[in-house]
Structure 1
Amino acid sequence: MSFDPADPVFLDDPYPAFAELRRRGPVHWHDGLGLPVAVSHEACAAVLRSRDAGRIWRDKEPAAAFPAFNLLHRNSLLESEPPRHTRLRRLVAAAFNRGHTARLQPRVRAVAGRMADGLAAAIAADGAADLLTHLAGPLPVEVIAELLGVPAEDRPRLQPWSNAIVKMYEYGLPPEGAAAAETAAAEFVAYLRELTALRAREPGDDLISDLVAVRDGGDRLSDDELVGTAVLLLMAGHEATVNVIGNGVLALLRHRDQWDRLVAAPAELLPTAVEELIRYDAPLQLFERTAVVSTTVAGYELEPGQKIAALLGAAARDPDVFADPDRLDIGRSPNPHLGFGAGIHYCVGAPLARAEISAALEALVTRLPGLRLAEEPPRRPEFVIRGLRTLHVTTERR
């Protein structure tokens, strides 16, 4: 038993295939992906936490065709290991922890409310509207842009750049997709070099200014490291959050009892609902590690340079960890999902992501309590980053 990551039937609902793999064992070789995949929660956690298997960046080849894409990843916190990772995370965390999440929370709630009102107006005008277009897509971009201090007139450029770059993480990407990713990366790098130079001259209360200024003794981020950090925050913050909101609202509307629970008690249930939506339909399905020494990870023997992947979507439905794992339960607690990673690569932006998802849900259940699906939504044809093409919704007539 395996799975075809390009099969539309599998992409629509991969969880039965994952359940069968878990029943057969914690780790399996996958011919199509060309690497072993861990499928149990215990095995996936072992992959993510192993210090013998790390994030070892190898340039996209031919390297001469992808200079900007490779520059971003060579200098990314996510694609580095100690001691460089330790240094980068210390500097990035020092800048990120200067109150940015607390500073942005009122703004996040206000923007989410405004966007939910815009969605309501679009539904009133046309009978139905796309929740991804009106809320799930633009909200995280607006928040990351505010975090980084991107001027309002430049913000429409961010989402297309992110969408193009992350396509490179899928398996079997056609050449035109790879070329588009490189073009987007080059444009984003050039833009951020200009913005960081401006913030060095004219600092503000944004994260770019703090990244420019942060010091640890005589150490500081290089220009390339700063650019790589900013792009990582956009791509990770945007792609994960938009898909948690999209996948999550779809799950809630398909499980009306859970939507109604949240409508009835948002203050009580929002914190656990956010965690459950991250778990229930994971926005990031697979995450790779590379062995740095001869080792055994999750019972699987690896030689240096060999890869292994944690199948996060499978870990999230493991019955050994989650009672009745295929059931959506917005009050589920505890909820030890792996959606933000584990170990030294645990997501530095997790608090901000939680704030965005919570604000989006709060705006929807308080402003649009009668929200309904207008049609069954089409899925994007990608496996690693799991999301929807559109999510058309309407409201019940009063």
Structure 2
Amino acid sequence: MTQAPPAPLDLTDPAVVADPYPSFAAARAQAPVQWHEGMNLWLAFTHAESNAVLRDRRLGRIWKDKAPAERFGSFNLIHRNAILEMEPPEHTRLRQLISSAFARGHVERLRPWVEELAGRLVDDLVERSGGSEPVDVLSGMAEQLPVDVIAELLGVPEADRPLLRPWSNAIVKMYEYGRTTAVEDAAERAADEFVAYLRALTAERRRTPGEDLLSHLVAVRDSDGGRLTEDELVTTCILLLNAGHEATVNVSGNGLLALLRHPGQMQRLRQDAGLLPTAIEEFMRFDSPLQLFERTATTDVEIGGVTVREGQKIAALLGAANHDPAAFDAPETFDVGRADNPHITFGAGVHFCIGAPLARVELQASFGALLGRTSRLELGGEPVRRPEFVIRGLAELPVVLTP
């Protein structure tokens, strides 16, 4: 077994953050799995090896509290009890409790409501733009629609929904590398406020239950306390609110930007609305909203010709995997009709995204409304990209919409 070369990749380099795909290609040409000294973990650059990282049961999500514990009390609480940081049997128990809310049949019943919401949001953008003024599609639709949908599912009152996105944004910045003390402090404050809010909302649902998912989880907690702790209940809601909109927002922004930069593909989609489902999958592959997902070896594991020692971390680079020419024909080509598209944007294995069916409904509704209620979409200024690598998305996307 040969020792892999060190990964030639600085994830804090603004050029890499702006466009990581050339760096991925250069690294992939050297070796499928490489050691990154600065991050102290292995990186998988290919589709096959990234898929193996996500599926191999010897590689687990092993949460370790951030230190010092007194500084990160709430941040640690919402991860220690999160389904995303658990392995079976705890993971299985929690996933079963919430899976019915995201079953395909239940999600399909939401589709008309989601489509109606998307239509209203796009109509408002069109009215404000009027074919001449640029409007920010991110704040005007991409951020609002998935937040409203997951909040509706959980039963968060409409007046409180503007609180959710800022909390989520602050918390997910903790997943980045090279973060500052100020970023860490902001993440802990957001986690603390989010936990306090969900505890109060849980108490309210206990007094006056509704038909929402939070009321269902409260009922499970109170009738069968052994299946769900209070901390797990609160954490599950936070995870669903964060993960339930964060990726969808960023697929919306990244995907629309790709369409705007490939007008031929946009025209193709306008002419054939039946391509919308495959286009959504291509948005997720072409510019993935989550770029990196870590696992920890519970025993020595061989992946891609290297040995990941027990206790070492290895990360699947999802964006690199989704551009691997061994898995995708012409991976640098943006193709809304791409039929063979085994992207791993939603993960794989036991941690495959539980909200994938809902995300697809939201994305089909929002892009269907954008294309169906406009005659023209064009960039109205320079997009502003968020300065983080792991969570890949835009901060602003000015677009001119013509009725």
TM surpasses 0.5: yes
The question of 1:75 aligning with 2:81 is answered yes
Residue deviations 1:344-366, cap 9 Å, x none? 00011110011111111001001
The question of 1:28 aligning with 2:34 is answered yes
The question of 1:2 aligning with 2:5 is answered no
Q: Tell me, what secondary structure is at the counterpart of 2:87?
A: coil
More moved, 228-237 vs 90-99: 90-99
Among residues 227, 234, 252, which one is paired with 1:227 in the alignment?
Answer: 234
Does the aligned pair in 1 maintain the 2:102–2:358 contact within 8 Å?
Answer: no
Give the C-alpha shift of residue 297 in structure 1.
2.9
The question of 1:93 aligning with 2:86 is answered no
- What does residue 174 of structure 1 align with? 180
Give the C-alpha shift of residue 84 in structure 1.
1.1
Residue deviations 1:227-246, cap 9 Å, x none? 11111111112210100000
Amino acid at match of 1:46: A
May I ask how many residue pairs the two structures share in their alignment? 396
Q: Tell me, what secondary structure is at the counterpart of 1:389?
A: strand
Among residues 250, 257, 262, which one is paired with 1:243 in the alignment?
Answer: 250
The question of 1:253 aligning with 2:287 is answered no
- What does residue 134 of structure 1 align with? 140
The question of 1:351 aligning with 2:351 is answered no
Give the C-alpha shift of residue 294 in structure 1.
2.1
The question of 1:273 aligning with 2:275 is answered no
Q: 1:223 and 1:97 mapped to 2: Cα distance?
A: 24
Q: 1:64 and 1:364 mapped to 2: Cα distance?
A: 47
Does the aligned pair in 2 maintain the 1:96–1:207 contact within 8 Å?
Answer: no
Structure 1 residues 272 and 96: alpha-carbon distance in aligned structure 2, compared to 1, 3 A threshold: closer
- What does residue 290 of structure 1 align with? 296
The question of 1:263 aligning with 2:309 is answered no
Structure 2 residues not aligned, in runs of 5+: 1-6
Amino acid at match of 1:110: E
Residue deviations 1:203-228, cap 9 Å, x none? 22211122223489874321111111
Amino acid at match of 1:230: C
Alignment of 1:295-334 (within 5 A): 295-334=301-340
- What does residue 151 of structure 1 align with? 157
The question of 1:211 aligning with 2:245 is answered no
Residue deviations 1:281-339, cap 9 Å, x none? 00000000001112223332122221000000000001111101111111111211000
- What does residue 67 of structure 2 align with? 61
Does the aligned pair in 2 maintain the 1:47–1:298 contact within 8 Å?
Answer: no
More moved, 345-354 vs 386-395: 386-395
Structure 1's consecutive aligned runs of 4 or more residues displaced over 4 angstroms after TM superposition are 215-219
- What does residue 198 of structure 1 align with? 204
RMSD: 1.8
Does the aligned pair in 2 maintain the 1:100–1:147 contact within 8 Å?
Answer: no
Q: 2:373 and 2:58 mapped to 1: Cα distance?
A: 49
More moved, 252-261 vs 207-216: 207-216
Give the C-alpha shift of residue 125 in structure 1.
8.6
Q: 1:124 and 1:256 mapped to 2: Cα distance?
A: 20
Q: 1:157 and 1:14 mapped to 2: Cα distance?
A: 31
Q: 2:23 and 2:294 mapped to 1: Cα distance?
A: 20
Does the aligned pair in 2 maintain the 1:374–1:393 contact within 8 Å?
Answer: yes
Q: Tell me, what secondary structure is at the counterpart of 1:394?
A: strand
Amino acid at match of 2:251: V
Does the aligned pair in 2 maintain the 1:95–1:211 contact within 8 Å?
Answer: no
Q: 1:145 and 1:204 mapped to 2: Cα distance?
A: 13
Does the aligned pair in 1 maintain the 2:79–2:85 contact within 8 Å?
Answer: yes
- What does residue 11 of structure 1 align with? 17
- What does residue 123 of structure 1 align with? 129
TM-score (normalizing by structure 1): 0.95
Identity among equivalent pairs (%): 57
More moved, 74-83 vs 9-18: 9-18
